[in-house]
Amino acid sequence: MEIVIATWNAHKADELRPLFPGHRLLLPSEVGLADCDIDETGSTYLENAFIKAETVFKLCGRPTLADDSGLSVAALNGAPGIKSARYGSADGTTKLDASARNALLLEHMKGQADRRCAFICCLVLMYGDNRFISVQETCPGLLTEVPRGFGGFGYDPVVYLPELGKTVAELTPEEKNRISHRGRAASRMNRMLSILEPNK
């Protein structure tokens, strides 16, 4: 199946493509859509993923996959959550870079004994008018005291996975694809796609 990804971020596309073998994932620019700013007004990962999928689907009329992801920290009542990419932004739009967000998060967690956190990923695939499937998965871990590792991106250096003895930034790409929130969500979405395709 050819699927348009509801993002103009080539890095996110590069991470999603290996998770959907047998499908061709295209950036909106590859089907003639100019970059546009989608207003993510939802209060949950599902609502924001749906908004992105529906917006791009209506523009291109092709099956569209949207991803909304973030980091939820137990001691911070679920923050940064859906605002993970804008965490620490004074005006809610200007973004800190990843290292600055990580430093701010660890500063806010100073002295906290409860280090539990989880990456969350919601995927929505819209494949027709009012026709969509969605899945949400998690990758639980513990916040480190200091960043570790140079792989991945975003909050990966500050999320430690006890079962592997590594931060997400220390995983190989294969390990990350297997156990990450996005990898787990994609695995479930692929199973649904295998059922959907013969019946679309």
Catalogue the active-site residues: 68
Do 100 and 87 touch, CB atoms closer than 8 A?
Answer: no
Number of CB atoms found within 10 A of residue 17's CB:
14
- C-alpha angle with apex 104: 85 to 13, nearest 5 degrees? 25
**CA 147 to CA 70: how far, in whole Å?**
17
Mean pLDDT, rounded, for 13-41: 90
- Residue 199 is predicted with a pLDDT of 52
Do 144 and 160 touch, CB atoms closer than 8 A?
Answer: yes
Per-residue confidence at 92, pLDDT binned at 50, 70, 90?
A: low
- Residue 9 is predicted with a pLDDT of 82
- Residue 84 is predicted with a pLDDT of 93
Nearest alpha-carbon partner for 6 in 47, 38, 41: 38
**CA 116 to CA 105: how far, in whole Å?**
13
User: Pick the residue with more confidence: 144 or 177?
Assistant: 144
Amino acid at 76: L
Question: Residue 115: helix, strand or coil by DSSP?
Answer: coil
Length of the chain counted residue by residue: 200
- Residue 153 is predicted with a pLDDT of 85
Mean pLDDT, rounded, for 183-194: 93
pTM for the model stands at 0.90
- Residue 13 is predicted with a pLDDT of 86
**CA 137 to CA 182: how far, in whole Å?**
7
Domain 2-199 has CATH 3.90.950.10: yes
Q: Hey, what's the torsion of the CAs at 100, 105, 107, 108, to 10 degrees?
A: 140
What is the helix (H) or strand (E) element at residue 16, kind and residue range? Answer: helix 10-16
Question: Residue 145: helix, strand or coil by DSSP?
Answer: coil
Do 107 and 81 touch, CB atoms closer than 8 A?
Answer: no
